[in-house]
Amino acid sequence: MVAPATRKKDQYQAFHTNCNYITSYMAGLLQCNDYTTVLEPCAGEGAFIDEILNKDLSPSIKAYELNDVSLEKLYEKYNNISNVIIEKEDFLLLLPMFEKKFDRIIANPPYGAYQSPERRKQLKRDFPEIYAKETYGLFLARSMEMLNDRGKLVFIIPDTYLTLHMHEGLRKLILANYKIESVTLFSSNFFPDVNFGYAGLSVISIMNEKPDKNHKFPVYNGLKRVSDLPELLTNAKKKYEVCKLSYQRLKKNPSAAFFLPPNNRVITAINSEAPRVSDICSVVTGFYSGNDAKYLRRSASVKRGAKKYAIVDIDEICTDDLSINPPLNGITEPSHWVPIVKGGNRRFHKPSEWYMDWSKNAIHDYRVANKKRARFQNSQFYFRQGIAVPMVSSSSITGSLIDGRLFDQSIVGIFPHDKYKNFTYFLLGFFNTKVCNGLIRTINASANNSANYIKKIPIIIPSKSKLCESVHHEVERLVSLAKSGDVNEEELQKLNRYFDEIYGTKNA
Ligand SMILES: C[S@@+](CC[C@H](N)C(=O)[O-])C[C@H]1O[C@@H](n2cnc3c(N)ncnc32)[C@H](O)[C@@H]1O
């Protein structure tokens, strides 16, 4: 599990749980006694085994590990302890039907560990429903199979399984067959030497028992520091309980996602019959030249990328209104550099600062000569009016007008269907609001706004045309403000109030 953002082809992902608060909390949830059998599927240097033994318990413990350095330490440590058995074995390749089952399993599995293509193939065969790139899901799935009836496991894993689409199979497997006892959420910086920005951490406790349809489990959240964890083993845990999630509800959610409050109205909107963005707009990613160092130029005011990108010659910029007759086959005139909207979180309007070579020769390269690297995709939307939402948002989702320019592959372009063209400003406003941010972060907890997540956002168009008009006027004001500088949070208050009224999130 738990790796810094700069991961390479790391085979083992050996981040050890050297934190007593975490090991003690997890062992506390595990509740073993001298008679239980315990499995540690990926033991590292034995952080969890030590925790159990330090509690003066002597259950019989079996531990697997692959890394020779760790194995040496494990053999040395537990050589004289007869109830601890260490084996060098790839846990994921064990065949559960030939293996003994366990009363308890505790783990901090490797997360996203490198798999060779052959191994990935085999794992995909063994776990067809589980996303094979994220090793933690595989460890969890295999461990659940290795539990005795009413046996229990406690895992520390990233919280991405709660909502990410790729973990749908894992969620459905759990909801159909196992009882989640609790989920505890906390910041990844609780874990020594780790802080991954895109997700938090969670401790999940699961029992091997067929769940009845009314099963519910508590979610704990809001711990400020790692030393708060022991409170969760006492009656004080109630103050961290943010909700009880019911299996009945979760099964009905899109892709069985584990949406969390606090914003119940947001969840109501997600579960409502309201049309999705994809029902009223085309949602597409943009263009890539295949070699930006060659084909992309910057205006002199841009300092970012100064070494890589040349400055565009002002006389060679195409200043025509390209939306009238989009030049999809290239431009013959010398002024063949067209403005392109790139990533970067700026609201409502982005000045033209980047230019793409749109000469006939360049187009030939994008479409033919360098077609493997370039992405001349969704070209029917180039040079149109639409909304640009950067694929990755720094803190909050933002949208700006494309205004008849090209848009690059780091942008999701949102183009209202003909019937909804008049709502372009309404939608532009929406993509800059708190309620839109709440919706997309509920659909997908990470900072990723990929087209597939944007498509799922529910769009409520108010029946009161006066409210629509008010939004439209306010967005016009914000667009012209954005043309003279960045729009700050203060300026968004009125727009946020309108959309809170529309989505009923006023007091949420
Ligand atoms: C994130 S570390 C955690 C170690 C230990 N459980 C802890 O919390 O300190 C994951 C461990 O899993 C081991 N590992 C990786 N893939 C494995 C596999 N397929 N089978 C068994 N162990 C594996 C790694 O070598 C590493 O020591």
Contact yes or no for 440/399 (Cβ under 8 A):
no
Q: Is the pLDDT higher at 204 or at 199?
A: 204
Eight-class DSSP state of 392: B
d(CA 12, CA 111): 9
Average pLDDT over every residue of 198-207: 87
Q: Which residues contact 34 (CB under 8 A, 6 or more apart)?
A: 57, 58, 59
Question: Position 239: which residue type?
Answer: K
Average pLDDT over every residue of 300-323: 94
Q: Whose CA is nearest to atom 8 of ligand 1?
A: 17
Tell me which range, 130-139, 160-169, 176-185, 430-439, is most confidently predicted by mean pLDDT. Answer: 176-185
Q: Give the model's confidence band at 275: pLDDT under 50 very low, under 70 low, under 90 confident, else very high.
A: very high
Q: Is the pLDDT higher at 5 or at 459?
A: 459
Helix 493-503 vs helix 465-483: crossing angle, to nearest 10:
150
State the pLDDT at residue 207: 98
Give me the residues paired with residue 331 across strands. 359
Other Cβ atoms less than 10 A from the Cβ of 291: the count is 13
Going by C-alpha positions, the residue among 190, 218, 186 that lies closest to residue 203 is 186
Average pLDDT over every residue of 294-303: 95
Pairing of strands 411-416, 387-390: antiparallel
In the numeric block, the tokens 């919706």 are attached to: 439
State the pLDDT at residue 120: 87
Q: Which residues contact 421 (CB under 8 A, 6 or more apart)?
A: none
Average pLDDT over every residue of 229-236: 95
Percent of the chain exceeding pLDDT 90 equals 70
Pairing of strands 406-407, 337-341: parallel
Distance from Cα 489 to the centre of ligand 1, integer Å: 44
State the pLDDT at residue 449: 77
Distance from Cα 97 to the centre of ligand 1, integer Å: 22
Distance from Cα 64 to the centre of ligand 1, integer Å: 8
- CA–chain centroid gap for 108, Å, is 20
Average pLDDT over every residue of 321-339: 96
- CA–chain centroid gap for 127, Å, is 22
Q: Is the pLDDT higher at 486 or at 82?
A: 82
Going by C-alpha positions, the residue among 314, 406, 318 that lies closest to residue 359 is 318
Render pLDDT for 30-78 as a digit per residue (tens, 0 to 9). Answer: 999 999 999 999 999 999 999 999 988 889 999 999 999 999 999 999 9
Pairing of strands 60-65, 147-158: unpaired
Distance from Cα 127 to the centre of ligand 1, integer Å: 19
Q: Is the pLDDT higher at 87 or at 438?
A: 87
Average pLDDT over every residue of 392-405: 89
Q: Whose CA is nearest to atom 24 of ligand 1?
A: 12
State the pLDDT at residue 262: 54
Q: Which residues contact 374 (CB under 8 A, 6 or more apart)?
A: 288, 289, 290, 291, 365, 366, 367
State the pLDDT at residue 190: 86
DSSP E strand stretches across 89-222:
102-107, 147-158, 179-186, 201-207, 216-220
In the numeric block, the tokens 């949406």 are attached to: 259
Tell me which range, 95-104, 233-242, 278-287, is most confidently predicted by mean pLDDT. Answer: 278-287
State the pLDDT at residue 226: 93
Phi, psi of 410 (to 5 degrees): -85, 5
Contact yes or no for 157/1 (Cβ under 8 A):
yes
State the pLDDT at residue 264: 63
Q: Which of the listed residues 1, 9, 12, 120 should we mutate to test ligand 1's pocket, taking the one with most ligand atoms within 8 A of CB?
A: 12
Ligand 1 nearest atom to the CA of residue 93, by list position? 19
- Give yes or no for residue 108 CB within 6 A of ligand 1: yes
d(CA 312, CA 361): 17
State the pLDDT at residue 24: 96
Percent of the chain exceeding pLDDT 70 equals 93
d(CA 298, CA 309): 6
Ligand 1 nearest atom to the CA of residue 92, by list position? 19
- Give yes or no for residue 110 CB within 6 A of ligand 1: yes
State the pLDDT at residue 199: 64
Give the domains, in start order, of the chain with CATH numbers. Answer: 20-261 (3.40.50.150), 279-503 (3.90.220)
Pairing of strands 216-220, 179-186: parallel
Q: Give the model's confidence band at 13: pLDDT under 50 very low, under 70 low, under 90 confident, else very high.
A: low
Ligand 1 nearest atom to the CA of residue 90, by list position? 20
- Give yes or no for residue 182 CB within 6 A of ligand 1: no
- Give yes or no for residue 64 CB within 6 A of ligand 1: yes
Lowest mean pLDDT among 224-238, 248-262, 414-428, 474-488: 248-262
Q: Answer yes or no: is pLDDT of 446 > 90.
A: no
d(CA 364, CA 432): 37
Question: Position 497: which residue type?
Answer: R
d(CA 287, CA 140): 39
Phi, psi of 88 (to 5 degrees): -85, 105
Distance from Cα 90 to the centre of ligand 1, integer Å: 10
Going by C-alpha positions, the residue among 103, 106, 115, 96 that lies closest to residue 36 is 103
DSSP E strand stretches across 296-405:
296-298, 310-311, 337-341, 354-357, 387-390, 400-401
Q: Answer yes or no: is pLDDT of 1 > 50.
A: no
Average pLDDT over every residue of 379-387: 97
Distance from Cα 46 to the centre of ligand 1, integer Å: 10
Measured CA angle at 249 (ends 245, 251), to 5 deg: 110
State the pLDDT at residue 5: 33
Average pLDDT over every residue of 157-162: 91
Lowest mean pLDDT among 44-53, 248-257, 290-299: 248-257
Burial of 332 (C-beta count, 10 Å sphere; 0-12/13-18/19+): exposed
In the numeric block, the tokens 């939004």 are attached to: 471
State the pLDDT at residue 182: 98
- Give yes or no for residue 62 CB within 6 A of ligand 1: no
Other Cβ atoms less than 10 A from the Cβ of 205: the count is 20
Q: Give the model's confidence band at 506: pLDDT under 50 very low, under 70 low, under 90 confident, else very high.
A: low
State the pLDDT at residue 255: 86
Q: Whose CA is nearest to atom 15 of ligand 1?
A: 12
Average pLDDT over every residue of 241-251: 92
Lowest mean pLDDT among 110-114, 406-410, 416-420, 471-475: 110-114
Ligand 1 nearest atom to the CA of residue 2, by list position? 1
Going by C-alpha positions, the residue among 248, 191, 186 that lies closest to residue 222 is 186
- Average pLDDT across the chain, whole number: 90
Average pLDDT over every residue of 270-284: 91
d(CA 31, CA 480): 62
Distance from Cα 63 to the centre of ligand 1, integer Å: 10
State the pLDDT at residue 7: 34
State the pLDDT at residue 441: 82
- Give yes or no for residue 30 CB within 6 A of ligand 1: no
